[in-house]
Amino acid sequence: MNNFFRFATAATALAVIAAASAATPASPAIKNVVLVHGAFADGSGWSAVAKILERDGFKVGVAQPPETSLEDDVASTNRTIDAMGGPVVLVGHSYGGIIITAAGNNAHVKSLVYVAAFQPDTGESLGSLSAGKPPASSGPKPSADGFLYLDLATFHADFCADLPGSEADFMARSQVGLNVKAAGAPATMPAWKTRPTFGIVATNDRAINPDLERSMYKRAGSTVTELASSHVAYISHPAEVAAVIEQAAR
């Protein structure tokens, strides 16, 4: 008889727990991702990452910041975020990290992923961060009308050394110039201070000093992954980058 009562009591407890679980469902994983390119590039470089995410059930938006000013770039990214219709993981590469640091304040953004990216604090800019820990590359050059570009002769080695030469050559010839105003624009109200953040260090990066990436991510308390990659880790290591994004979605 005692065994019967013990069994009945345990069964009742399990029923109560099951009922409570049914009444309070777990929060769903974030299913929307917005990808933001950096300087000298466009959104097409995210193609392989986007295909992996879509295969895994995510809805993907690819922002196309014009690189004319930080204000313009944040506005462009916010339009893409707002079009997703729900909570978003916001991902930025390189200068795109500065964009998502501002656009991440959008109420739809729930987490941030920095891919070989700048993660500025208040008052810091691409220019000031690069000057503090210079990269190994020769750096961008200014055009006559106030845009920065990378020398075609060194583009492959400095920007995407682990990509095939033919692909690097096309990227060099199709690069999008960055307005010098955007490079000098200081961050305000960094979103990483109020959002969970993840950072990917490209250990062979010549466009951003890998030690700068490490120091920014450490300061922000980001969850860090290191990849033996050139600056364009999202192109050369799409599966690993997609895995970090999916981690941020959970």
The pLDDT value recorded for residue 33 is 98
Is CATH 3.40.50.1820 correct for 32-249? Answer: yes
Helix (H, G, I), strand (E, B) or coil at 141: strand
Q: Cα(240)–Cα(165) distance, rounded to whole angstroms?
A: 22
Work out whether the CA dihedral 199, 93, 227, 247 comes out positive or negative: positive
pLDDT at 106: 98
The pLDDT value given to residue 196:
98
Please state, in angstroms and rounded to a whole number, the distance separating the CA atoms of residues 244 and 228. Answer: 15
How many distinct helices (H) and strands (E) make up the chain? Answer: 11, 9
What is the pLDDT, as a whole number, of residue 20?
Answer: 40
The pLDDT score that the predictor gives to residue 29 is 84
- Residue 160, both tokens: 């995407």
| Domain-wise residue ranges, the chain | 32-249
Task: Tell me the chain's radius of gyration from C-alpha atoms.
Answer: 22
Report the distance separating Cα 14 and Cα 32, nearest Å. 35
Contacts with 218 (C-beta within 8 Å, 6 or more apart), sequence order: 224
Of 184, 135, 183, the residue nearest 158 (C-alpha)? 135
Among residues 47, 36, 139, the alpha carbon closest in space to that of 94 is found at: 36
Q: The whole model's pTM is what? A: 0.89
Query: Per-residue pLDDT tens for 45-100?
Result: 999 999 999 999 999 999 999 999 999 999 999 999 999 999 999 999 999 999 99
Report the interhelical angle of 47-55 vs 238-249 (nearest 10°): 50
Which parts of the chain sit beneath pLDDT 50?
1-28
